[in-house]
A = this chain, B = another copy of it.
């Protein structure tokens, strides 16, 4: 797996491309000259965790014949303000699913994704507290 980052404009606007030719834009925070050209790196890390876990949850539920009609996630991250790196200390994922879904199966799928199958989650520092919640919007309620 390979990606390339190039400077788009100073100080820190970047274009990143992958091997399939997709691109995404990054920028720094306003404090270091950012002008909302794209996601900040730490937001991008949260996006990767949201997407990775969403895929694994979907795959697990599909195997169980649970049809997910719609899916969204809100992710917040808390950072260590006392460290020079301000790394994440806690990440909270709130999953919203739509469909005729068994709550126990959804809960178990989220747990399995975050603890065993999600590549991004397992690449993060185990000291980061990864917490989750979920809600199910059933059609017939």
Contact = CB atoms under 8 A, between A and B. Distances in A.
A74 B2 CA distance: 7
A35 to B, nearest CB: 10
Given A16-B50, A51-B26, A51-B41, A118 B85 contact: yes
Interface in A9-44: 11-12, 14, 16, 18, 20-22, 24-28, 32, 36-44
- How many chain A residues sit at the interface, stated as a range, is 35 or more
B84 A117 contact: yes
By secondary structure, the A interface counts as mixed
Interface string A42-86: 111111111110110011001000000011111111010001111
Contacts of A59: 32
15 contacts: A1-B40, A2-B74, A4-B74, A7-B72, A11-B58, A14-B50, A16-B50, A18-B40, A28-B55, A42-B119, A42-B120, A45-B45, A86-B119, A123-B124, A124-B124
